[in-house]
Amino acid sequence: MAKSSLQQLIDETGIDPKLAKSLLIFTGGDVEGAKKIISSFEKNIGCLLIKFGLNSIKAFGLIILLVNLHQNKVEKSYITVSDNMQLMSVDLMKDIAEIKQLINVTEVNSDYTYILKGLDEKLNNVKYLEKLYPILKSPNSEHFSESIINFFSAILNEITTEVNIVIKHRYIQIDPFEMGKIIAEGTEEIYENSQNQAENEEKKENIVNNQMSFIELECEPVYSPIKGIDVAILQEGDYLKVRISDDREIAQYLYKLLVSIEQTNNDYINAKIISKENLYENLVKIIVEFGPGILGKVICGTDVKIEADISGKGWMI
């Protein structure tokens, strides 16, 4: 029996069924088009794996840090500290889910809970992260490896006063869908053993949301000095008319698809505002949503008028 389009897309990409279904609806059942969108997801998540040894106090640890390079925030961290020196033998090139599982099953020695707590606090502290973000955003830098080692050595020294520190690391950039798979790996048993069904469903939904990777397309608003809406009064839920100015191949494919969906011969697309942020020098950044995991970025002045609909209903197609 022939596979359904949904099953084919899941089998060929390993994508979450919910996202696969949304993409097929968006592409009108075009499996190849959905695969093209998936392959274009931006790799804006930094995945940093660290193993360390504090030789004088015989403490050894593993860290997985998932960092959103687009929003400058830590999405998730996994840490363990143990007296088991075999942690220093872990191959960081292994599947990340396997390393995560090892972290989860490694019992933290009670003598080292202060190290675990200190790492957790510092890797969620803006003061420290502001030093780490620039390093992760320039992985090809000549001093990248040295900078990573110095960063974690300084933190561990601050927590323990240890100076005999060995740091090994691996760093890759992945898309949010890949991050979602790492986070979701091994959670089913936790859900099954939990007694709070409502909490289970919320956790599962959060994981699916993490998998909703996105492509962000460069866009321009449709200026209308006479009949337009003041940018200043626009808010989330309003609709804009935008032109896709992005020159990437995937952008051209999505433009043709969106025009087909709207059945219009115009060169603009209707899109819902999902966020609005004031920038410097009287500029505003507006993020709009075209479809599942597909966003558009508009930057314009705060004192202009553009074609928009503030009724919350959008234009009639």
Q: What is the pLDDT of residues 43-102, one digit of tens each?
A: 889 999 999 999 999 999 999 999 999 888 899 999 999 999 999 999 999 999 999 999
Q: Please check whether residue 241 is in contact with residue 307, taking contact to mean a CB–CB distance below 8 angstroms.
A: yes
Identify which has the larger pLDDT, 14 or 161: 161
Residue 124 lies in a domain: yes
How many separate domains does the chain show? 2
- Cα 131 from Cα 121, distance rounded (Å): 15
Beta strands, E only, the chain = 45-54, 59-68, 73-82, 165-174, 215-221, 229-230, 239-244, 269-278, 283-291, 294-301, 305-306, 308-309
Query: Of 122, 143, 174, which residue constitutes the final position of a domain?
Result: 174
Assess whether 169 and 223 both reside in one domain: no
Q: What is the mean pLDDT of the chain?
A: 85
Assess whether 106 and 157 both reside in one domain: yes
Residue-range definition of the domain harbouring residue 229: 215-309
What Å distances lie between residue 149 and 122, 157, 197, CA to CA? 15, 12, 43
Residue 235 lies in a domain: yes
Residue 132 lies in a domain: yes
Q: How confident is the model at residue 3 (pLDDT cuts 50, 70, 90)?
A: confident
Contacting residues for 159 by C-beta, under 8 A, at least 6 apart = 114, 115, 118, 119, 122
User: What pLDDT sits at residue 82?
Assistant: 94
Diameter of the chain measured on Cα atoms: 73
- Cα 219 from Cα 238, distance rounded (Å): 16
Three-state DSSP at 114 gives: helix
- Cα 244 from Cα 252, distance rounded (Å): 8
Q: Please check whether residue 65 is in contact with residue 173, taking contact to mean a CB–CB distance below 8 angstroms.
A: no
Assess whether 62 and 167 both reside in one domain: yes
Assess whether 137 and 224 both reside in one domain: no
Residue 17 lies in a domain: no
Q: Please check whether residue 229 is in contact with residue 315, taking contact to mean a CB–CB distance below 8 angstroms.
A: no
Identify which has the larger pLDDT, 121 or 212: 121
User: What pLDDT sits at residue 199?
Assistant: 52
Residue 151 lies in a domain: yes
Query: What's this model's pTM, rounded to 2 decimal places?
Result: 0.66
* Number of Cβ within a 10 Å radius of residue 30: 17
Q: What is the pLDDT of residues 192-223, one digit of tens each?
A: 444 455 554 444 444 444 444 468 889 999 99
Query: Of 174, 202, 223, which residue constitutes the final position of a domain?
Result: 174
Query: Of 174, 190, 207, which residue constitutes the final position of a domain?
Result: 174
